Chain A
Amino acid sequence: MRWWRPFTKSRKFSAEPHPIEPAMDSKNLYQEVILDHNKKPRNWGKLADASHQAEGLNPLCGDHIWLSLKLDGDKVGSIAFEGESCAICKASSSMMTTNVKGKSVQEAEELIREFRDMATGQLDTGSQLHHLGRLSVFAGVRDLPSRVKCAILPWHTLHAALNSEATISTEGDRDPVETER
């Protein structure tokens, strides 16, 4: 069974799970949900029995996170992160862990791509199909080029962990996800 609903024009779908939102400006970036995840990050820590892990580093601003996860068959059984980072990176990490837990690797990779596209302005969460749900609160970073990498770092790190790359860095123009595609 698909984990997301296919796009249809039915009233039910248009009402949820992806309500159409206007693109946010930078003023709305520090929303309650982001501040909450920054203050009380979910899935904080390190898994003792991780099957995959990776380290993510943003040398530009010093964001530094460690991600560990345990695959249960094809699904992300458990996942945890820790590190030192800005609020955007920490909240993005926290919300990522709650969102990918229980999803298949393929579904997680799809979310990674969609999140990246949203943050870089290639996916308009207001008008295009996506599975990001509440993660669309991060759409505002597209207006803040210097903060895009903060939001994307945990997703790049997840991609690296799933592909058994030990360390990724957002330094330079190399985009690990882009390279992969």
Chain B
Amino acid sequence: MTSSSSVLQAVRPSGALDVESIRADFPILKLKVNGKPLAYLDNAASSQMPQQVIDRLVRYQTAEHANIHRGVHYLSETATAAYEGARGKIQRFINAREAREIIYTRGTTDSINLVMHGYGRAFIGVGDEIIVSQLEHHSNIVPWQMLCEEKGAKLRVIPCNDAGELLLEDYRKLFNSHTRLVAITHVSNALGTINPVKTMIATAHEQGVPVLVDGAQAIPHMKVDVQDLDCDFYAFSAHKMCGPTGIGILYGKAALLEKMKPFEGGGDMILSVTFDKTTYNVIPHKFEAGTPPIAAAIGLGATIDYLESVGMDRIAAHEHDLTVYATEAFRQLKDVRIVGTARDKAGVLSFTVKGVHPHDVGTILNEEGVAVRTGHHCAQPVMQRFGIPATARASFYLYNTMPEVDALVAAIHKVQKIFG
């Protein structure tokens, strides 16, 4: 067993963040679980919310709430201003050209389904092909399979190597005259691989094919610039970036969004309705039928304020330190295999313990106050690629610490002792 201090010396954290002051912003991190301090390492599934965002939600519900748009009274105007103000913050955060390219959805899954229904069903037909990768979350596979089934189109898959890196040569070979869309993840949720999406987008554009990027695991952890990437669609969720559940974003290039059909019909997405003809509203409202989760959208705006106050580059540097430290500590554990060893990797550590099912690992870690996710992480094709039914996965965020990694390592020792 390696003492943590020797690993610590080997890694030398850069001290990118004042983690203790950040932790003070997150009330939930004070919890004890099974009598142990909580080590929350399940951030790839969902992250925790800082007091600043909680306070913003409370302030909205306490003094600003009414239904948005078309209200002439004070509260409706206040709520509308906050809701549309948050859209502007999101636009600037990802460097979209215009606020109307930002569509509120329920989350990444909903965003991808919107593109499937609004773009896919209109522009993809029999014999056409959609390229996805081996590393996709089910939410970026299943909608396209449904579309393929409906239209008689075909799914093509970019393979990956044993480290969990996509094979770009094979990717290029997948293109042909039938290719209509590429749908790829920016960061793999199961392995942490950061895909070279900018290069991959350029490759697709050479062939005149638009690209949807699933950014759920990227946007919380790194600076994303949609104009620099030149992606056609970018999907993400608020709850993985310290924001509320039930709200997410679809960014789309205005020209594409304007060509698309609405996904859901209802109030707010129309300009005029008669029984003879309905005229749809302009983007983004065309895709926002019904009363949205107003508080959650405003909460997302506050979340972006919070992340920007910390600094995305510093968050990324801190997570990189944690990942290097944890990876080094894991390499010194006997009979522990790290699944996903890409050179370019986010703060995700998927692992298996020899002879112990990941669910048993997770239950024993929980007894030590360490929260990790176990299972296939909604990425069964990834598990199939590596020939395993499941993994345990630790995933880091800005508020995690090296002592929490030590707690994880100590808990794995306990697993091995029990099952030894």
- Please report A residues at the B interface, Cβ cutoff 8 Å: 26-27, 29-30, 35, 38, 60-64, 84-88, 144, 146-147, 150
Contacts and interface: CB of A to CB of B under 8 A. Distances in A.
Contacts of A147: 359, 363
Range class of the B interface residue count: 10 to 19
A87 to B, nearest CB: 5
A88 B375 contact: no
B366 A62 contact: no
Given A30-B418, A86-B357, A144 B376 contact: no
B370 to A, nearest CB: 14
A150 B363 CA distance: 12
Contacts of A26: 34, 363, 366-367
Nearest to B366: A26
6 contacts: A29-B363, A62-B375, A62-B389, A84-B389, A86-B359, A147-B363
Interface in B125-181: none
Interface in B356-379: 356-360, 363-364, 366-367, 374-376
Secondary structure dominating the interface of A: mixed
A85 B358 CA distance: 10
B137 to A, nearest CB: 16
Nearest to B359: A86
A30 B375 contact: no
Contact of B364 (A30, A61, A64, A150): A30
B390 interface: yes
Given A30-B418, A86-B359, A62 B376 contact: yes
B419 interface: yes
B367 A35 contact: no
B357 A85 contact: yes
A144 B363 contact: yes
Interface of B: 34, 356-360, 363-364, 366-367, 374-376, 383, 389-390, 418-419
Contact of B390 (A30, A62, A146): A62
Contacts of B383: 62
Contacts of A88: 359-360
A35 B390 contact: no
Given A30-B360, A87-B357, A150-B359, A61 B374 contact: yes
A57 B367 CA distance: 26
B366 A64 contact: no
A60 B357 CA distance: 13
Contact of A61 (B356, B366, B390): B390
A89 to B, nearest CB: 8
Nearest to A86: B357
A29 B375 CA distance: 20
Contact of B359 (A27, A35, A61): A61
Closest A-B pairs by Cβ, 5 of them: A86-B357, A62-B389, A86-B359, A87-B360, A62-B390
Contacts of B375: 60-62
Nearest to B420: A35
Contacts of A87: 356-357, 360, 419
Contacts of A150: 359
B357 A35 contact: no
A117 to B, nearest CB: 22
A146 B376 CA distance: 15
Contacts of B363: 26, 29-30, 144, 146-147
B253 to A, nearest CB: 37
Contacts of A62: 375-376, 383, 389-390
A61 B380 CA distance: 11
A60 B362 CA distance: 14
B356 A27 contact: no
A50 to B, nearest CB: 25
A29 B363 CA distance: 10
Contacts of B366: 26
A29 B367 CA distance: 11
B44 to A, nearest CB: 17
A180 B317 CA distance: 56
A64 B418 contact: no
